[in-house]
Amino acid sequence: MKNRLRDLRTAKGMTQEDLAEIIGVSRQTINAIEKEKFDPSLPTAFKMAKLFEMTIEELFQFEG
């Protein structure tokens, strides 16, 4: 699963810490998702997509 999180976050001038607080997870969780260590839960994916005003499919690309 790929994602565009890093680009979108930096484009908004936010740190991983900033994003973590808004979404309601730890800073390390944001980092792990950006580095594509694992996928977010569905609720977390929804929050992220809403924040960046796009669909989950636009934010995360599932290859499978």
Partner DNA sequence: AAAAAATGTAAATAAAACTTGACTTTTGTA
Partner DNA sequence: TACAAAAGTCAAGTTTTATTTACATTTTTT
The interface with its own copies within residues 21-60 (CB under 8 A) comprises 39-43, 45-47, 49, 55-57, 60
* 15 near its own copies (CB under 8 A): no
CA terminus-to-terminus distance, the chain: 9
Residue from 2, 7, 10, 62 touching DNA (CB under 7 A): that is: 10
> Of the two residues 20 and 58, which places its CB atom closer to DNA in the complex?
20
Residue 30's alpha-carbon distances to 6, 41, 64, in angstroms, are: 9, 12, 23
Nearest-CA neighbor of 53 among 19, 3, 8, 7? Answer: 8
Site string for DNA, 15-34 (x = CB under 7 A): xxx--x---xxxxxx-xxxx
